Amino acid sequence: MRPSRLDHPAMRGTLIWRVIAVLALAPWGASTAADADGPADFVAKFAIEWHGITAGYTTLELTHSSANTYTYKSRNMARGIFRLAFPDVISQTSTFTIVNGEVRPATYHADDGEPDSDKAVTLRFDWQTRRVTGTAEKKPVALALESGTQDTLSVQIELMREVAAGRSPKSFWLIDDDEIKEYKYTREGTETLDTPLGKLETVRYRSEHAGSNRVTRLWLASSLGYLPIRAERSRAGKVDFGLVIRELKTP
């Protein structure tokens, strides 16, 4: 854990995934039902709750950049005294396509405000050769691609597509810096949440990696195409931080 970054790998997007994301309203749910249509564009804002205090905000933006290519961006901003803990914007960008009903990441980049810093991660996915290559925190990456492997942003889109299609995913292969790990997903039940978007019925999922004491929980709103509207991460049973939706804009 890097205290100076409030646990940098998680703040890069694990929480949003593996902790959270955001999606459009009814158009998202309708579009995911058919492979010919992709997710609708959106911009969403979440509050970062750290040990019960609002430490900053995360903005997520999904755009349809070409015929079957999408760009998904995440930016974290600290507020007040928390700028001392993570002074730079922590950003992520993922490009992906949807092939045969499956989200396939093409490129992924994450940095702490300095694209060439020691924290930067740049990955390229080659689905013909089934290899992912690049660098992660100055270390070379060259790994075989398991079917369905996602990056920390694209997995959010794949999770929502699966649930919207009536399936309950059990696990996803996820590239985390220079490793590919399997994350288990468990449906825990339903819950109604009061949010700035109104009272919403949600399905709660639990995500975890074997051998880790970290657990992430996601609340997916059924009326919003199973958009995650809340997420929490806990260590050894104690919640340390989470994301809560504040705003959602669609075309």
pLDDT for residue 91: 87
From residue 164, how far is each of 67, 111, 157, 185, 204 by CA, in Å?
A: 22, 31, 11, 15, 14
DSSP secondary-structure letter at 13?
A: I
pLDDT for residue 1: 35
pLDDT 10s digits, 142-166: 999 988 999 988 988 888 888 888 8
Answer yes or no: are the C-beta atoms of 193 and 199 closer than 8 Å.
yes
> Count of alpha carbons within 13 Å of 103, Cβ hemisphere only?
28
Average pLDDT over residues 175-201: 91
Q: Which of 11-25, 66-80, 141-155, 167-181 has the lowest mean pLDDT?
A: 11-25
The reported pTM is 0.80
> Count of alpha carbons within 13 Å of 80, Cβ hemisphere only?
7
